[in-house]
Amino acid sequence: MAETTAPTRLDIEALRSDFPALHQEVHGKSLVYLDNAATTQKPRAVIDAVDAYYDHDNANVHRGMHELSRRATDGYEGGRAKVAAWIGASDPTELVWTKGTTDAINLVAFAWGMDHLSEGDEILLSILEHHSNLVPWQMVARRTGAKIRYIEIDDDGEWVLEDLPKLLSARTKIVALNHVSNALGTINPVETVVAGVRVRAPQAVVLLDGAQATPILDVDVQALGVDFYAFSGHKMAGPTGIGGLWGRKERLEEMEPYQGGGEMISLVERDYSTWADVPHKFEAGTPNIAGAVGMGAAVDYLQRVGRRAILEHEQELSAYTIERLREMGGVRVWGPRVMERRSGVVSFSMETAHPHDISTILDTEGVAIRAGHHCAQLVMKRYDVPATARASFYLYNTRDEVDRLIDALGTVRSFFG
């Protein structure tokens, strides 16, 4: 969706005042929250929308013929329509609410994969995937006999696309790739891969993991020409426990349900049942209604800010961070060299300190980053490191906070030499 009213530069101080959790002290220091790739903080508008739902409208959806149930249903379906438009879907019924990206990918792996994959078929992934876009495919491959193939990455954290022609064939049944990497911050050339798939493996279904893309990119699922798009609300200022799977109508319709139960049936007999229409066929049980309401508020909020401005802001902070890390010396920064190819994720290693020691010392300075394998162990193996330290930004982070990070890394340096 075009964000014509968005300012080109963000008024960070005004935006920061929208996020209550940013304004606190941690270990006696003002909090510097740089763990946004794991989850973002929530603006007051989202918190208030969730509160208002529980204060006034709480009821179950689709069932009750009473005012509160109608309001709950309106909030639930209204949130769906907003989020669908936000990712460029023309039809809100193509958007299935899930618990998040992991849940969405598992839905496709099991509901689509178990019925469409068999011995001799191939699943194409990349080694840059989050475990949630690896492990479900390994589970399904083990049960179906399908084989997994991988796009490799180069030293700059970019896919080695010269290999693509030999990785795609008539055997390729699904291509499942991340749009933006959580481990290295690479904005992946998914358009190039989709074009390659359409030429060399037109039978293949394409799924994109958009967990790190929906918060910053003007995602348009129709223009991308994919079959499935998975994402999480909590990484884009929304609540935890809610996310979505967008799927082409014909794909969703050809799939059997993932789970059985209430809300997903049309008719139940002793020996069989028939299914509700898409998307409700995939939404068994009482759903996360408050989460859907919160997602609607999150999209309204981000729409006002503008994703292009958020991306530019993140890239500016990444560039500044990398420049300051290089000045320090003894630091290896992972991921693309070209700033336009990066998001607001800066993964790095220090020669003298283990990433976990870095994050522990930073925490005592009030600076929150993540250290570890970032659920991307194949990336760590590729670079022969057990873990990296990762600072990740969102719309409310500032250059002053980057300076606080660098100062705290100075403390790490003085500890470990």
Residue 101 beta carbon to ligand 7TS: minimum distance, rounded to whole angstroms: 4
From residue 4, how far is each of 187, 219, 304, 309 by CA, in Å?
23, 15, 10, 11
Of 72 and 128, nearer to ligand 7TS (C-beta) is 128
CB of 311 to ligand 7TS, least distance (A): 16
Integer Cα distance of 34 and 394 in angstroms: 8
Active site residues: 375
**Minimum distance, C-beta of residue 178 to ligand 7TS, in the bound complex (Å):** 5
Judged by CB, which is closer to ligand 7TS: 132, or 388?
Answer: 132
Residue 276: CB atoms within 10 Å: 18
Strands (E), 163-311: 172-178, 205-209, 228-232, 243-247, 265-268, 273-275
**Gap between the Cα atoms of 331 and 349, Å rounded:** 6
Q: How far is the CB of 234 from ligand 7TS (least distance, A)?
A: 6
C-alpha span between 227 and 202 (Å, rounded):
12
- Give whichever of 121 and 244 is closer to ligand 7TS, judged by the CB atom: 244
Task: Give 365's DSSP letter.
Answer: T
Closest CB 240 distance from ligand 7TS, rounded Å: 8
Q: Where are the alpha helices (DSSP H) in 329-387?
A: 355-364, 377-383
Give the C-alpha separation, 380 to 79, whole Å.
Answer: 37
Minimum Å distance from CB 55 to ligand 7TS? 27
By C-beta, is 133 or 388 nearer to ligand 7TS? Answer: 133
Helix H or strand E encompassing 187: none
Q: How many residues are present in the chain?
A: 417
Cβ-based burial of 376 (10 A; exposed 0-12, middle 13-18, buried ≥19): buried
Cβ-based neighbours of 33, under 8 Å, separated by 6 or more: 21, 22, 41, 368, 397
Q: Which residue is nearest to ligand 7TS (CB)?
A: 182
- Residues in contact with ligand 7TS by CB under 6 A are 37-38, 100-102, 130, 132-133, 178, 182, 209, 211-212, 232, 374-375
For residue 21, give Cα distances in angstroms to 125, 205, 396: 37, 41, 11
Q: Which of 138, 157, 139, 158 has the alpha carbon at shortest distance from 149?
A: 138
In angstroms, the CA 307 to CA 311 distance is: 6
* Least distance from ligand 7TS to the Cβ atom of residue 346, Å: 13
Compare residues 353 and 376 and give the one whose CB is closer to ligand 7TS. 376
Q: Which CB atom, from 72 or from 124, has the smaller least distance to ligand 7TS?
A: 124
Q: Which residue, 232 or 318, is less far from ligand 7TS as judged by CB? A: 232
Q: What are the tokens at 334?
A: 């992972």
> Is omega for the bond preceding 165 within 30 degrees of 0, making it cis?
no
